[in-house]
Structures are given as structure tokens and as C-alpha cells.
Structure 1
Amino acid sequence: MAGIKRTADGDDMDIVGMPQKKFYRSRAHCNPLSHNDSFVYPLRPNAMDWSTHYPNIENPKVEFLDVGCGFGGLTIALATLFPENLTLAMEIRPKVTEYVRLRIEALRKDSLETTKAYQNVSVLRTNAMRYLPHYFEKGQIKKMFFCFPDPQFKQRNHRRRIVNTHLLTEYAYLIAEGGILYTITDVEDLHNWHVAKCDAHPCFERITDAAELEADPCVKAMTEETEEGKKVARSGGKKYIAVYRRLKNATIAANTSLF
């Protein structure tokens, strides 16, 4: 945005209370299957109180999920792209989660007297590989994003990848019919893994129409607004995108015995 001063890390200096990334640096990834930090989570979705996350929204209902949100670049972009939808960023690392929380808080305060923007986004520290069904009802999610997830290069660690057959079934339960699952990575091997797992899953079909993908603002946002995406662009690397639509239950039933 013109006129806004930014630090070398891309932090908005003109916004009061905006945190600086240099104070919230953390390891790029952690092992979600052996993470020992305790998480408080509801026993069931209807036991979750979302009012603290969206205090100015009546009867808040999350529809977009940014899983492994990093420093929140995509989440912030979605706030303005889809002002009528609630986006939740999910992150396992405490320092990074706190950065995103403070970033959202600063943006909310900065816009309070004008547009009252960013009331529709929040961040939650949790382990998405373990606890997603505790937070969301069946078919609640319209869009789910996995941007530059941990590649888990070693074959013995592939079970830790956030996109796998078991978890795709969980995602299919949470995503509404016709909802979209987005993936992006700069690792070709991981991209091929995403495609292989999603192609083989009976609940998803890949969106291959170039015109449809180009018209989708989410594709542009996850390519250009995430911190990892910007880093890849600066280094001249390549980004690999795979986008999938959650099929209708009737279509799945006609093709399989899942329903």
C-alpha cells in the first residue's frame, strides 16, 4: 500500500501496536505428532466459545481455515477479500501465533474508526493434525488452505505431512459440498505428493480449468501474500499449486461405497 512505511521484514510501521517479526522468530516447523505442549480444546464443536475471537460478530461461524498460517499473510488478505466470511488462522508455534494475534489486534484498532475491518479474522494456537474435529461441524468449512507446509523430506516422516489419506477424509468431513481445498508449495516432490493423495481420494476432484483458477482471488492471495510465497519469489523459486473441489455426497455415493 502506498504511503505505508515497512521494516525490512515487511511489518507496517505506521500502524500503532504492529508487532515486528524479528521478536517472534521461531523454528520453521515442529513435529506435530510428538509435540508435548498441552492444548486446551473443546470436547465438541458446540462447546467452543468463538466470541473472544470475533467479539464484534454476532453468532460467529468460521468458514475459512488457514492451516499452519505462519505470520498470517494469507489470513490478513482473506479478511479484506471476503469481509462477509470468518477466517481462522491455525498455528502450532506459540511465538508465531502471538505475532499473528497482535498483528490482527493492531489492524483492528487501526481501522476501528473507519472501515472496522479485520473483525472477521482471528488466530488459534492448536495442533490441526489432532484437534480439527473438536472445533468444527460437518460441512462447516467452505475453504481450507495449506500454504507451504513442512515438506517432511525423509520418507519415515511422510506420515507427518499435513495432507495425507487419513487427514483428507477428515477434511472431507469438515468441508462443505462444493468447498475448496487449496495447496501451494515450492517443493516439487511435496506437490506431487499432494496431487497423488488428493487425486486418489474419492471425495475430491482437482480444478484444472486455468480460467477458473485465474479468476479465483484465493489462488493469487496464497501465491503472493504469504511470507513464504514472497520469499520464494525473491529467490526466483517456483511455486506449485493444486486446488481441489469437495464433491457432492451424491456423486461420491454413486462412485464408491463410502455413503
Structure 2
Amino acid sequence: MHNNLASQTELQSPSVLYLLNLAIMVGPANKRQKREEYRTAHREEAAPELPKKKFYRQRAHANPFSDHQLTYPISPETMDWSPYYPAFVLNVAPGGTQTLSKDVEVADIGCGFGGLLVALAPKLPDTLLLGMEIRSQVTEYVQERIKALRAQNADAHLYQNAACLRANTMKFLPNFFRKYQLLKIFLCFPDPHFKARKHKARIVSATLNSEYAYVVRPGGIIYTITDVEDLHNWMVQHFDSHPSFQRVPEDEQEADECVSVMRTETEEGKKVERNKGKKFVALFRRLEDPEW
């Protein structure tokens, strides 16, 4: 009994409490330090290997209405794409901005760890693809992944057409793309935001669909996939009710090679496959604007 009381007294002493608190603090600090050491070493490699995802983990959900201290262009004309697609730099425009030989035409909104991007890039070698991700560490992972793939496939000039940037597309999509600039937009396994009060944060809504209609040219396609049937029905309902979009027939949908890639190559898609879950796919074509 006396020994137990002595032990409790020792544990409550200021010096012991200080050491316990210090031990608790050291854990996360060491983890952050290892992550930074890995990233620094990875960036300095002459022929970088693919980055390790465990050093770039970040919580799955981000509040799109928060201030994420993002950098974005005032307008599409002021966006400098040259750091993202150096192989496609054409010349230096007035004012020092470097222009590209072609425009970005495919956007993967909420690209996650870039599975769709790196799978589509070799299949669409003459098209510039852009992943847009709100989470900073995940964005960095995709950028490092593309950098490594470019280095590993330098002789074949592969993956030069893929890039990723950090962006909140719910706020700033028209800042990056001109009217009718995009040919395809992918919305793969977006956050379902199950609670009704969170539905305003869904990536598909009447307002956002009008922005998609602005940046996607007539004939362009919006690709959607999710493992949540309620969200699938929500997206179908909102696109069906929008006058600028029409659902693509299922036979045409299944003939699209991008659909099979979307089903199998995203990280979320692979996870659903492992868990033997269902995937709900719907495509929507941008219609011609009526004559006014």
C-alpha cells in the first residue's frame, strides 16, 4: 500500500509530469521531421523514384468554404502554365509570360493521389491534363509523382502532358479556364457530405453546374463516378435538371475508354474494388447554347 502511494506521488511530481509531456510532444515532432527529411532527400535525387504515399497522408475531408490561403490567377489570361508543362512552352509573350503550344483541356477536380491523371496521360498524349486538389500534402505528392514519372520516361517523353496544382474549384474554377476551354471534367469519388446541412458543399449543384457549363465546350463531357448511390442520384438529378447538359446513353458511356480507366485506376476506385463495393457511373454531354 505504501509503495502504491509512493508511486502515485512520484508520478504527480512536476519533474515526472514534465518528462511525460515531453515524451508525448516528441512523437509527432519526430514523425514530422522524418517526413521533411524524406521530402528533402526525394527532391534532391538525380533520378527520383516514385514518392511514398505514407509521407504525404492528410485527412480525407477539407472544408471548401474555409480560407486555405490559396494562390490563384485573377483571370485565365494571367495564368502562367509554363512551370506545369515545360515541354509545351511555345514562346515568351509580352510582359514575360510564357505561352504554351496548346491549352489545358482536361481537368480532374479533386484528383486525390493522381491515379486517374497518370493513367490517362499516356492514353491522351496530345492533350494537357490538370489535376486540381485542395489538400496541400496530397497536391505535393501528385506533383512529385509526375516529376518522377517524367524522369523515368524521359526517352519516351511521357507524362509531360500531366500536371497538378492546389486549388479550390468551388470558388475559383473560372479563374483558371476560359469559356469553352475544357473538353472533359472528371468528378471521381467526390466527398458525399452525407448530412443534409452539408449538401451545399457537394461538388455538384445547380450553381456549380453552371460554372461547368461555362468552362466546358459544347460536345464536351462531364464524367462522374461514386460508390455512394445517394450521391450518384443527386448528381444525376442536378445535371438532368440543368439545361446545358444531357446524360450520355449507357452504350456510348461504356464505349468510352476514359470510363474504364476511371473505374479501375483511381485510388478510391481500387479501394471500392477491394471491398467488393458498387460503382455508379454517369456521363453528361455539354449541349449547344440556344440561339438568342
Instruction: State the TM-score, normalizing by the size of structure 1.
Output: 0.89
Secondary structure of the corresponding residue to residue 277 of structure 2 = coil
Does 2:157 correspond to 1:100? no
Does 2:167 correspond to 1:126? yes
Q: CA deviation at 1:17?
A: 2.3
Q: CA deviation at 1:160?
A: 0.3
Does 2:212 correspond to 1:181? no
Does 2:123 correspond to 1:84? no
Equivalent residues, number: 235
- Is the 8 Å Cα contact of residues 65 and 145 (structure 1) preserved in structure 2? yes
- Tell me the residue number matched to 1:21: 53
Q: CA deviation at 1:134?
A: 0.5
The whole-number CA distance in structure 2 between the counterparts of 1:66 and 1:135 is 13
Secondary structure of the corresponding residue to residue 186 of structure 2 = strand
Structure 1 residues without counterparts, runs of 5 or longer: 1-14, 254-258
User: What value does the CA root-mean-square deviation take over the aligned residues?
Assistant: 1.1
The whole-number CA distance in structure 2 between the counterparts of 1:182 and 1:221 is 11
Task: Among all aligned residue pairs of Structure 1 and Structure 2, give the percentage whose two residues are the same amino acid.
Answer: 54
Q: CA deviation at 1:61?
A: 1.1
Amino acid at match of 1:79: A
Task: Indicate the structure whose relative CO is greater, using CA pairs within 8 Å and at least 6 residues apart.
Answer: 1
Amino acid at match of 1:130: K
The whole-number CA distance in structure 1 between the counterparts of 2:137 and 2:48 is 20
- Tell me the residue number matched to 1:226: 266
Which of structures 1 and 2 has the bigger CA Rg? 2
- Tell me the residue number matched to 2:208: 167
1:7-59 deviation per Cα after TM superposition (whole angstroms, max 9, x unaligned): xxxxxxxx84210111111111111012x221111111000000000001031
Of 195, 198, 201, the residue aligned with 2:236 is: 195
After alignment, is 170-179 or 36-45 more displaced? Answer: 36-45
- Tell me the residue number matched to 2:82: 51
Secondary structure of the corresponding residue to residue 85 of structure 2 = coil
Q: CA deviation at 1:62?
A: 0.4
1:200-248 deviation per Cα after TM superposition (whole angstroms, max 9, x unaligned): 00000001232x1122111011100000000000000000001000001
Q: CA deviation at 1:82?
A: 0.4
Of 125, 144, 151, the residue aligned with 1:109 is: 151
Instruction: State the TM-score, normalizing by the size of structure 2.
Output: 0.79
The whole-number CA distance in structure 1 between the counterparts of 2:211 and 2:234 is 18
Amino acid at match of 1:147: C
Higher helix share: 2
- Is the 8 Å Cα contact of residues 17 and 102 (structure 1) preserved in structure 2? no
Does 2:78 correspond to 1:42? no
Amino acid at match of 1:145: F
The whole-number CA distance in structure 1 between the counterparts of 2:283 and 2:110 is 17
Amino acid at match of 2:264: E
Matches within 5 A, 1:136-175: 136-175=177-216
